[in-house]
Amino acid sequence: MTPSFDAVVCGAGPAGAYLAHLLSKKGIQTLLMDKARFPRYKPCGGGLTRRAIDLLPFDLSGIVEDWTVKARIGLRSCAPLAIEVPEPMIGMVMRDRFDHFLVEKAREAGALFWEGCAVGSIERTMDGFRLETGCGVVTARCVAGADGVMSRVRRCLGLSPNTAVPALEAEVHPRRGTDLDRFRMTVDFDFWAVPRGYGWVFPKADHLSIGVFSTDRKVPGMRRYLHAYLARKGISHGYEVRSIQGHLIPTGPPGTAGVVPSGAFLLGDAAGLCDPITGEGIYHALRQAEGVSCAMERHLAGDAAASSLYEDAVRREFSREIRPARRLAFLLYRMPWVSDRLLEAMGERIMGYHLDVIAGRATYRQVFRKALLPGTLLRVLPGFGGSRPDGMMPG
Ligand SMILES: Cc1cc2nc3c(=O)[nH]c(=O)nc-3n(C[C@H](O)[C@H](O)[C@H](O)COP(=O)(O)OP(=O)(O)OC[C@H]3O[C@@H](n4cnc5c(N)ncnc54)[C@H](O)[C@@H]3O)c2cc1C
């Protein structure tokens, strides 16, 4: 007999595992499946922002390896900024442990977990979906694609592949006698460590996760930029680079998230919406898991509008968060002569606004409005009343 479920969730990253937890808590019979066996490594900074942590109803103290209260921010053309806050702003996790923890939470809530089991194809049926997987055929009344940026589910549902930008991450361990004290409780972000992007150093319990991210899809030589960044941060003798792995971060296109047949949902990287400035994706994955769990519950209860309500929620989120963040990212990475002047004039204030976003106290829409008040532009930008530094031409 073909196993049959209320919901099948494909992919057990933060989006899928948390969705399976929420569905099971509601008493919905859920199968969670992942092509990998867990715990599995995932190239990721593992920076859980305050707003992501606040979404999770779990004690993360055994999982978070360092709580950061300081940020050192390197800028392109002006002095670096240093910020210190009283409350931790980012909790550092390793994704193998964090994702496994969420999968265990899903299982504790009653979800069935099939690991080492890839979804191959999905067909619409009269009363739901039929999935061919590495572990055989299953049927479900609802299906969720949480299978990451290269989502197979997304393709099976007839959507175009995600557009995505590259990121590269190294796990760097200290050799005997080297300590990590100078990196403890601190995040380093260095803008333009790579063209149209930034480099980061995130401290973990016994090592550092160091990476580079570019918003330029075709930037050549990411590995070269990563090595240059390691050297710039003084990571050479005394450290051992144990792995370097690349992965993609989705950046849209807008308006495709959730636009799938009734009863099918995309979330997390599969839906394509990460923070266009920083590449942060875990917060959006968890938030979408909440939205999909409510929509699936309504769909299973016979509400024909459930899918479109989820689409509306995604669109609202898009216009509140992603669209204004894209505009800011455009300014930061594509118009550096403008963003340099803004950061010179009000860098600390802008970083303060960004802290409000990652703490969940403000949206990017609010930041966009505050950072780009017409008065600010008048004061700061050449041609609008500000003075242009010698030799610097807009272009
Ligand atoms: C280098 C790098 C650094 C990053 N740093 C951060 C950071 O510090 N903070 C942050 O918030 N975000 C960060 N991100 C983004 C973040 O990693 C993603 O947004 C996040 O992992 C999305 O979660 P997800 O559950 O949607 O997908 P994923 O975590 O990608 O999980 C998808 C799962 O689906 C499984 N899968 C794939 N195909 C199939 C299939 N056919 N069948 C079954 N299972 C399948 C995979 O094995 C995987 O387990 C970073 C990304 C990169 C590349």
* Mean pLDDT for the stretch of residues 120-133: 96
Q: Is residue 332 part of a domain?
A: no
Query: Atom 51 of ligand 1 has which residue's CA nearest to it?
Result: 44
* CA of residue 394 to ligand 1 center, whole Å: 38
pLDDT bucket at 389, cuts 50 / 70 / 90: very low
Residues in contact with 56: Cβ distance below 8 Å, sequence separation at least 6, in sequence order: 18, 286
55 ligand 1 Cβ < 6 A = no
Q: Which atom of ligand 1 is nearest to the CA of 133?
A: 42
247 ligand 1 Cβ < 6 A = yes
* CA of residue 119 to ligand 1 center, whole Å: 16
Q: What is the pLDDT of residues 195-229, one digit of tens each?
A: 999 999 999 999 999 999 999 998 999 999 999 99
Omega of the bond prior to 394 within 30 degrees of 0, cis?
Answer: no
Helices (H) and strands (E) in the chain, counts: 11, 17
Q: Which atom of ligand 1 is nearest to the CA of 36?
A: 47
284 shares a domain with 183: no
Query: Atom 50 of ligand 1 has which residue's CA nearest to it?
Result: 44
Q: Which atom of ligand 1 is nearest to the CA of 270?
A: 26
- Give the count of domains, the chain: 2
228 shares a domain with 240: yes
Task: Tabulate helix, strand, coil % of the chain (nearest 5).
Answer: 35, 30, 35
113 shares a domain with 8: yes
Of 227, 250, 273, which marks where a domain is finished?
A: 250
Residues in contact with 224: Cβ distance below 8 Å, sequence separation at least 6, in sequence order: none
The residue range of the domain holding 264 is: 4-46+94-162+252-304
Of 233, 250, 267, which marks where a domain is finished?
A: 250
105 ligand 1 Cβ < 6 A = no
7 ligand 1 Cβ < 6 A = no
Inform me whether the pLDDT recorded for 282 exceeds 60: yes
Q: What is the pLDDT of residues 368-383, one digit of tens each?
A: 887 776 666 666 665 5
125 shares a domain with 18: yes
Q: Is residue 12 part of a domain?
A: yes
pTM: 0.94
Of the listed ranges 64-78, 180-194, 251-265, 331-345, the one predicted with least confidence: 251-265
180 shares a domain with 133: no
